[in-house]
Amino acid sequence: MDFAEITLPVRKPFGLFATAVSHGWYQTQPFRWSRERNILQRAERLMDGRVMLVDVLERRSSRRGYADLTMQIHGDGAGDPGVAPELARRLSVALRLDADLRPFYRLCRDEPALRDALRLGAGRCMRAPTLWEDIVKTILGTNVVWKQAVVMINRLAELGDVCPADPSLHAWPTPGQVARAGEAFLRDRVRAGYRSPYIVELVRRQKSGDLDIDALDARSRSMSADELFKALTSIKGIGKSSAHFLMNLLGRYGHISIDSATFAYAKRALFNGRQPTERQIRRRFERFGDWQSLAYWFGRWSAKFEWWEDASGRSSA
């Protein structure tokens, strides 16, 4: 099995742990987080069909202001020209390495409740390299406890090509692989229930040219928040809360994704056991402006992962 290694520079503050476990994607294939080794792994299918295993690990950088990430590639032809740049682009998307969070970190300096986000290099919400994967995982995560969503997502991942360097991982399935499996697989094996036709419809729209998810991903930065919200909610299975969650993954933080888990957290942590309204939750974070979903999410994340520094071994801001 061939091996290659390159460096992915990212401006500080950055923490691999804080980014990788920013939400539940790290528990779903093709991702895998190693708590013991502080390594993010992913199986990734190249454009030529080969599947590589990618390890991302954090190393102290000698360059001022940068936290270097090392990307190790395992697989046949890992050192071939073009392989490392292709995978570097994809992992840079997934880890949001190009995100400019300087205004958010200035906010963190002035907000005592957010200072740990600065210290830990939190703020980037890990996404998939493709919006196709993000949307399907989001659909499977609606109206269900997260544990069951993980089961459904990982069963769907079985359709993807096996990673030769680690057969326990599969690359994320292509729309074609999902189409060939059909709705019966989604219902009988994935147990996706009412979500099954939504995923079938998503595949159909891509195949017909009615929807170009890659183009939507590329255009998302230049679209207004309202335009992006409208485009996402035009996809069956993506409601208001899911659209705001996806916008967060795409770097739009002006709206909090409010669902049953949001209400439960807000009732417990923010409103002294009183059941708040959606308006009350939103008003609580209005002062954070374009960064309100990150301010909300860090509070929720830090409350859930009290073991963060033990798991990461160190802070890396």
What is residue 151's predicted lDDT score, i.e. its pLDDT?
A: 98
Distance of CA 102 to the CA centre of its chain: 20
Task: Identify each DSSP E strand in the chain by its residue range.
Answer: 3-8, 31-34, 39-45, 51-58, 69-74
- Alpha-carbon distance of 273 to 144, in angstroms, equals 23
Calculated CA dihedral for residues 305, 310, 316, 317, nearest 10 degrees: 50
Distance of CA 152 to the CA centre of its chain: 17
Q: Is 130 in contact with 45 (CB distance < 8 Å)?
A: no
What is residue 9's predicted lDDT score, i.e. its pLDDT?
A: 86
How many C-beta atoms surround the C-beta of residue 36 within 10 A?
7
Which tokens belong to 317? 């801001």
Q: Is 77 left (phi over 0), alpha (psi -120 to 50) or beta?
A: left
Distance of CA 17 to the CA centre of its chain: 13
Please give the class, per CATH, of domain 3-120: alpha beta
Closest by CA position to 259, among listed 213, 186, 248: 248
Entry pTM:
0.93
What is residue 61's predicted lDDT score, i.e. its pLDDT?
A: 66
Q: Is 117 left (phi over 0), alpha (psi -120 to 50) or beta?
A: alpha
- Alpha-carbon distance of 294 to 254, in angstroms, equals 9
pLDDT in tens, 154-191: 999 999 999 999 999 999 999 999 999 999 999 999 99
Residue linked to tokens 């570097």? 88
Residue linked to tokens 């030769």? 164
- Alpha-carbon distance of 120 to 317, in angstroms, equals 5
What is residue 311's predicted lDDT score, i.e. its pLDDT?
A: 44
Residue linked to tokens 């190393």? 59
Which tokens belong to 14? 């950055």
Residue numbers in the chain where pLDDT is lower than 70:
61-62, 303-317
pLDDT in tens, 86-109: 999 999 999 999 999 999 999 999
Distance of CA 199 to the CA centre of its chain: 19
- Alpha-carbon distance of 79 to 20, in angstroms, equals 26
* Domain-wise residue ranges, the chain: 3-120
